Amino acid sequence: MNGTPRVLNRVLILLAGLVLLAAGLLAVLLATVPAVAAWWQSWTPLAAGELGRALEGARIPGTSVGWPWLAAMLATVLMALAMVWWMSQQGTGRKDLVASTGPDGGSAPDGSFLPGEAPGRVALAASAVGQALRAGLGHRKDVLGASVAAIDFEGSTALRLRIVARQGADPGELAAEAEVLVERLDLVFGVSVPVLVHISSGARARLSRAERVR
């Protein structure tokens, strides 16, 4: 539920895994198969010589720099820019507001005021929803923490509620109570948005003091 390019990430992980697998397989073959080691020892000097002669013959006229080195530097710069762009795309899609009134302050589709509405603009922040949900779960001893994030999901706003539960907690019971809290918030705030409830029990749960028998 965010703008992270998951398909691209999986493709890059696959390519990196294939490269590492090929390098590891080659290292194993060089260490265990004498024929492969002999081929490698005879091939690498020839390849290095051919590469050196190719670089010598590809120099830019009047300079000591070859076209391959220039292309390699350009490729390195482009790769660095691509990595910066790739990192900037991770975890995007978060929003500060869950909902807000129209630009003129009214709740009508065109932003005008309905009968009984006062002029003004109302915005519902994601932090306010998070505080309300955390307060609603605060009485539970089997909940170590909760966080809420507003996400841009398919052109609309959705909420992601993450609950960190103690080991031994009933996830079905936690999910049911979270659903009740979300329904109550819909009534209080007057806004209904999709909600993803994620319940986990990580290192914090393992290191915390147990409150119930497992």
Q: What is the pLDDT of residues 101-141, one digit of tens each?
A: 655 555 666 666 667 666 666 677 777 777 777 788 878 77
pLDDT score for 208: 47
- Kindly report the average pLDDT of the chain as a whole number: 75
Mean pLDDT of 75-95: 78
Q: Where in the chain is the domain with CATH 3.30.300.30?
A: 95-207
What are the residues whose beta carbons fall under 8 Å from the beta carbon of 94, sequence distance 6 or more?
2, 149, 150, 151, 152
Q: Is the pLDDT of residue 38 over 80?
A: yes
Domain 95-207 has CATH 3.20.10.10: no
pLDDT score for 118: 64
Digit-coded pLDDT (tens) for 197-209: 888 776 554 544 4
Secondary structure class of 161 (helix, strand, coil): strand
d(CA 18, CA 122): 52
pLDDT score for 15: 92
Rounding to the nearest 10 degrees, give the CA dihedral for residues 42, 43, 49, 55.
Answer: -170
